[in-house]
Amino acid sequence: MNELQNQDRELAINERAPAPVRLAPFVDVHQNQDGYLVLADLPGVTRSDIAIRLEDNELTVEATRPGRSLGGTEVPPKQYRRQFRVPEGIDATRVDARYESGVLRVTLPKAEAKKPRLIEVQ
Amino acid sequence: MYNHWNDIERTWAAMEALRRGMNQAFSGSESGETPRFGRLIQAAAARTPAVDIFEVEDAYLVTADLPGFKREDVELKFANDQLLISATRAAATPEGYQAVMEERGALQLSKALGFAAKIDAEHIEAKLSDGVLEVRIPKHPEAKPRQIPIHIG
């Protein structure tokens, strides 16, 4: 019963909240011999509200930013999303992401050149 | 009211960016090189960051999206009953890298904000966190709404 009431309250809150605005953040991509550096302007988000995925050579960056309602002025929540096709040969295990001063930095290192492998003769 | 002005400023900035972009496309970049095909033509004019203004009973709150700005990139002044904000972020390719795609570019905020209520300038506070500047501008005590007691005669 209590749980039901709580659910009702949550629903009421959700109904009142304005729909999030979908935005594509501004992004820079740089490269050097070691790999790629992706910078995205994501002001006002919390680290834990950023999701980065690298799947089938597609890099997806998503982040949510809470809205604000104060003194009759309402700023709706924002949903940032950007997707890129990245070149082959990225070492997915060494992808690194940092968030500082409202800017997300993702480094995508190139995989080490495949080393010649000695094949043992059985 | 402020938002309206913001729109005009943005439209102006966009027109300026377009004009410079066209100039660059036809006469080569400022360094004299012909822009490479497939490379984004950099808008020389900076974009204006988004600014929101809130008013509560005892204060105004001004927020500005300033991603990648350091404290020293932002200047705040209160003079002649106006809050002056100026902040600049230059476009830059990090050392040792070559640009593949550049959209973030330069950001420039230059704004003078006036307020309807008298301001307590001594107690204006500002902080910059996660790329958002937040300035709290308290109203002067005499500007705050005051409850007036009614005496029964």
Architecture, CATH, for domain A20-109: Sandwich (2.60)
pLDDT in tens, B14-54: 655 655 554 444 443 444 444 444 445 455 578 899 999 99
Cβ atoms of residues A76 and A67 within 8 Å? yes
Cβ atoms of residues B133 and B66 within 8 Å? yes
ipTM metric: 0.78
Q: Which residue of B has its CA nearest to A35?
A: B97
- Write down the pLDDT at residue B145: 74
Q: Which of A30, A43, A68 sits opposite B93 (nearest CB)?
A: A30
pLDDT in tens, B1-11: 444 455 555 55
- What 3-state class would DSSP assign to B56? coil
**A39 touching chain B per CB within 8 A:** yes
- Write down the pLDDT at residue B19: 54
- How far is the CA of A17 from the CAs of A11, A68, B22, B54, in angstroms? 10, 10, 42, 18
Q: Which of B136, B127, B125, B148 is nearest to B58 (CA)?
A: B136
Cβ atoms of residues B33 and B42 within 8 Å? no
As a CATH number, domain B46-91+104-143 is 2.60.40.790
Q: How many interchain CB pairs under 8 A, A with B? A: 84
Domain ranges of chain B: 1-45, 46-91+104-143
**B54 touching chain A per CB within 8 A:** yes
Distance from CA of A39 to the nearest CA of B (A): 8
